[in-house]
């Protein structure tokens, strides 16, 4: 048997589906240029249009046909040489509707393998967001904002070719820069994109993540019951009706907090979360009524607290709220837990408002989601400008 290479691309459903497809397809085509057979395929695409539910695409490449057939016989790779994360908020862990429990973003990366991410964060900060692994692995950061598109719209900002150039650098056994540039030229008829791949190849650096780095918490785990432990008949335990909320300062009880599914945590789908300015809330109930996942809990004083265990970050609440800056979507990387905003507000109102003002002041425009339909205003990342400058220099020479 020969050598089998595996690459996974973790992406956010429909917003990055074409991006992941382009990357996995080009990996296989570049390997073909060097005589290596391969196949690309998707996984976990059960309902990707639902606000970017996490999904995966794979590319499997081998040094010979027999090794490839052996690799294809498995449902999916159990280890990958390269894992690609096209949205850094997924570093906290991902959960799809097609698997159970929170999955570490680095779960499949083999010892010494490489995790590539598009992010503006520094490698050390990203390493701390991810879960710990028993063996060291490499982290390669491509400086860029996550590349999102709307429904059926592809945002052509060179993210795919930059990732392909980085793969050629961190895993040269898979394919060379020359091979992937040849594929890019043939597919796109755009020399500038081949130059962007070159620039990424030259600039990408790796950071070794040690077993002592990262989130020490063990992700959600469970054991499937054995056949002799299952209950008689077909019975599904119902979810409890819920209870009143309790004020952490006065002890007053009131409002309503519904009970929710204890095992399915939709927060892994978020790139942004709603933050609520309780002083501006006019108690109109629109966020509570419009939320597609019933995420808002009613407090004793009839304010609305976003339950961040249940929130998938769709942004409907921000869109329907009639009061300016009462509900604001903020990037998920600013937060380390899903604790109650209302409780934090009740315990330290001034501190909460100061933190809220800081988050809103640094908030970028939403990159995708409910507020966008159709085409985007064109954005030209710095890497494209660098590629254009390099191309102009070569022309003048």
> Which of the four pLDDT bands, split at 50, 70 and 90, describes residue 378?
very low
Residue 311: which of 333, 287, 334, 280 has the closest Cα?
287
> Which of the four pLDDT bands, split at 50, 70 and 90, describes residue 42?
confident
Could you give the angle at the alpha carbon of 112 between the alpha carbons of 89 and 78, nearest 5°? 70
**Range 205-215 average pLDDT:** 95
Residue 179: which of 157, 156, 197, 153 has the closest Cα?
197
Q: Report the range of poorest mean pLDDT among 249-258, 280-289, 355-364.
A: 355-364
Burial pattern 107-133, b for ≥16 Cβ within 10 A else e, equals bbbbeebbbbbbbebebeebbebbbbb
Q: Is the pLDDT of residue 251 over 60?
A: yes
Q: CATH number of the domain at 4-209, out of 3.40.50.720, 1.20.950.20, 3.40.50.180, 3.40.920.10?
A: 3.40.920.10
What per-residue confidence (pLDDT) applies to 152?
Answer: 59
Architecture per CATH, 243-361: 2-Layer Sandwich (3.30)
Q: Is the pLDDT of residue 104 over 60?
A: yes
Global pTM exceeds 0.85: no
Chain segment 161-203, per-residue pLDDT in tens? 999 999 999 999 999 999 999 999 999 999 999 999 999 999 9
Q: Report the range of poorest mean pLDDT among 102-111, 244-253, 376-385.
A: 376-385
Q: Indicate the DSSP class of residue 334.
A: G
**Range 59-85 average pLDDT:** 91
Q: Is the pLDDT of residue 10 over 50?
A: yes
> Which of the four pLDDT bands, split at 50, 70 and 90, describes residue 281?
very high
What per-residue confidence (pLDDT) applies to 370?
Answer: 41
**Range 308-323 average pLDDT:** 88
3-state SS record for 62-88? ECCHHHHHHHHCCCCCCCEEEEEECCH
Q: Is the pLDDT of residue 376 over 50?
A: no
What per-residue confidence (pLDDT) applies to 264?
Answer: 67
> Per-domain residue ranges for the chain?
4-209, 243-361
Please tell me which residue, 329 or 165, carries the higher pLDDT value: 165
Q: Is the pLDDT of residue 285 over 80?
A: yes
Cα dihedral value 47, 129, 327, 348, nearest 10: 140
8 Å CB contact between 54 and 13: yes
What per-residue confidence (pLDDT) applies to 99?
Answer: 67
What per-residue confidence (pLDDT) applies to 50?
Answer: 59
SS3 state of residue 361: helix
> Which of the four pLDDT bands, split at 50, 70 and 90, describes residue 147?
confident
> Which of the four pLDDT bands, split at 50, 70 and 90, describes residue 73?
confident
8 Å CB contact between 107 and 273: no
Cβ count within 10 A of residue 152: 10
Q: Report the range of poorest mean pLDDT among 28-42, 95-109, 110-124, 293-307.
A: 95-109
Average pLDDT value over all residues in the chain: 86
What per-residue confidence (pLDDT) applies to 301?
Answer: 94
**Range 312-320 average pLDDT:** 86
What per-residue confidence (pLDDT) applies to 220?
Answer: 75
């Amino acid at each position: 048997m020969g050598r089998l290479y595996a690459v996974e691309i973790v992406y956010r459903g429909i917003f990055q589906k074409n991006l992941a497809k382009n990357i996995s397809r080009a990996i296989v085509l570049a390997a073909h240029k060097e005589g290596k057979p391969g196949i690309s395929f998707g996984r976990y695409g059960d309902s990707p249009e639902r606000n970017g539910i996490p999904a995966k695409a794979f590319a499997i490449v081998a040094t010979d046909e027999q090794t490839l057939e052996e690799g294809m016989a498995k449902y999916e790779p159990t280890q990958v040489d390269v894992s690609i994360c096209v949205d850094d908020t997924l570093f906290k862990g991902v959960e799809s509707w097609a698997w159970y429990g929170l999955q570490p973003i680095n779960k499949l990366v083999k010892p010494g393998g490489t995790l590539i991410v598009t992010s503006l964060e520094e490698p050390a900060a990203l390493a701390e967001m991810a879960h710990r692994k028993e063996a060291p692995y490499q982290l390669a950061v491509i400086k860029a904002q996550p590349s999102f598109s709307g429904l059926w719209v592809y945002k052509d900002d060179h993210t795919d070719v930059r990732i392909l150039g980085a793969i050629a650098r961190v895993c040269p056994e898979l394919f060379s820069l020359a091979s992937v540039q040849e594929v890019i030229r043939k597919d796109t008829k755009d020399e500038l994109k081949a130059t962007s791949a070159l620039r990424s190849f030259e600039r990408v650096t790796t950071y070794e993540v040690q077993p002592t780095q990262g989130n020490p918490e063990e992700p959600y785990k469970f054991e499937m019951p054995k056949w002799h432990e299952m209950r008689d008949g077909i019975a599904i335990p119902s979810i409890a009706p819920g209870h009143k909320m309790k004020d952490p300062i006065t002890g007053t009880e009131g409002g309503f907090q519904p009970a929710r599914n204890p095992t399915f945590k939709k927060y892994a789908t978020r790139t942004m979360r709603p933050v609520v300015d309780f002083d501006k809330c006019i108690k109109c109930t629109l966020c509570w009524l419009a939320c597609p996942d019933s995420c808002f809990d009613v407090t004793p004083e009839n304010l609305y607290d976003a339950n961040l265990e249940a929130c998938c970050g769709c942004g409907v609440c921000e869109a329907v709220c009639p009061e300016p800056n009462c509900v604001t979507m903020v990037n998920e990387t600013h937060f380390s837990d899903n604790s109650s905003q209302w409780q934090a507000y009740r315990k330290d109102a001034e501190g909460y408002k100061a933190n809220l003002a800081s988050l809103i002041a640094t908030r970028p425009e939403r990159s995708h989601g409910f507020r966008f339909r159709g085409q985007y205003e064109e954005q030209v990342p710095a890497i494209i400008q660098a590629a254009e400058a390099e191309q102009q220099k070569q022309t003048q020479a």
